[in-house]
A and B are shown apart, each in its own frame.
Chain A
Amino acid sequence: MSRVRTPFLWLARIAVAAIFLGACIAKIRDPELFALAVNRYRILPGEFVNLVAIVLPWIELTSGLAVLAAPARLRAAGALIIAGMLGVFTIAISLNLLRGIEASCGCFSTRADAAVSDGWNLVRNGALIWLSLAVFLDAFRRAFPRPPPATP
C-alpha cells in the first residue's frame, strides 16, 4: 500500500506546489492587471479588490513552498489553505460561468489574451482540491500522530 501511497503523495505535493508557484508569478509581476481580474468576478466590494490583489499571490507562494518543502505541520497548513483557495476560486468561476461573463479566470495569466474560463477550469480545480486534501491528510497525520489505543 505505502509502495503506491508514498510516490503518489510526493507527486501530489510536487504537482500542487508547482501549479501554485507557477500561478503566483504573473500576479506578483503585475498586481494592477491581477486586481482587474479580481474585479471582473464582481464578487468582492471594490474596497477589497486591491487588498486581495496585493496579498493573494503571496499566499499562493508561501502555501506552495510549504507544500513542497516545509515540515509536516506547515505542509498541512499550506495544503489546507490551498484547498480552501481552490474552493473559493471554483465558486467564483462557477458564478462567472452562470452569469455568462466571458472572462479569463486570472489563474495563471493576467494577459488580456488569456483563455476564457470554461467547465475545464472547474474539473481542474476539483482534481487539485482532491490532491491538496490528500497532501493535507498525510501531513496532518504525520504532524499529529494518534496515540496507540490503550490496551485493556
Chain B
Amino acid sequence: MIPGAATVRRGDTLRMAGACAALLAVAAGLGTAVNFLRPAATRLPWVGDWQHHVETKAFRAGIPVVFLAGARERTEDPATMVFDARVPEQYEAGHLPGARNLPVGEVDRRLGALASVLTPETPILTYCGGSDCADALELAEKLREYGFQDLTLYPGGYAEWTEYGGAVHAGSEP
C-alpha cells in the first residue's frame, strides 16, 4: 500500500459524498419549491394521514388487498363471490359484473339466503364506492367473524372501476 494512497482515497470519498449531497439538496429544494407552487388542491402536505387510509387499515387487519388488475381477475373468476357493500340504491344504479349487494348492516339478515352458494373457503372480494369509504373493509371483517377465510378487499372500488372503463351492470340482480 502506498502511504499517500489512503489519504487520497479518503479525500476522494469526501468529495464524492459532497457531490452526492449537492445533488440531493438540489432535488429536495426543487421538490419543495414545486410542491409549494402547486395549486392548493394538488399540493401534498408534508405529513399525510396514511394511518387512517383504508389500505393501511386493511393491512393492519390482515385483509389482503387487490388493485384494478386483481379485481378484474376476480370478477372473471366464477368461483369468486363479489360483494358490493354500498347501499341498495347505489348498487342498483350500477355495480361490478356478478357482484351481489351486501351492505354491512344487512349481513346478519341476508347471509342466510346465500348459505347455498357460500362455504367458509369461498373466495370473496368486497368493494364499496372508492378509497374514501371503509364499508367494504368493515364487510370483510364482519364476514371473517362469520368464519369466511378467503377474503380480499378492492379499495379502488366502484369509482376506480368505472374510471378505467370497467363494465358495469345495473339493476338489483348480479
Q: Give A residues with C-beta under 8 Å from B.
A: 28, 30-32, 35-36, 39-40, 42, 46-47, 49-51, 53-59, 61-63, 66, 73-74, 76-78, 80-81, 100-104, 111-113, 115-116, 140, 143-144, 146-147, 149-150
Contact = CB atoms under 8 A, between A and B. Distances in A.
B70 A116 contact: yes
Determine which residue in B2, B30, B47, B48 has the highest number of CB atoms from chain A within 10 A of its CB, and name it: B48
B44 A31 contact: yes
B107 interface: no
A40 to B, nearest CB: 7
A50 B45 contact: yes
Interface of B: 2, 4, 8, 12, 15-16, 19-20, 22-24, 26-28, 30-32, 34-35, 38, 42, 44-51, 53, 55-56, 59, 64-70, 131, 156, 160, 163-164
Contacts of A102: 66-67, 69-70
Q: Is the interface of A mostly helix, strand, loop or mixed?
A: helix
B44 A54 contact: yes
A55 B131 CA distance: 24
A119 to B, nearest CB: 16
A50 B32 CA distance: 11
7 contacts: A46-B49, A51-B46, A59-B23, A66-B23, A101-B65, A102-B69, A149-B2
A62 B30 contact: yes
Contact of A46 (B4, B56, B68, B163): B56
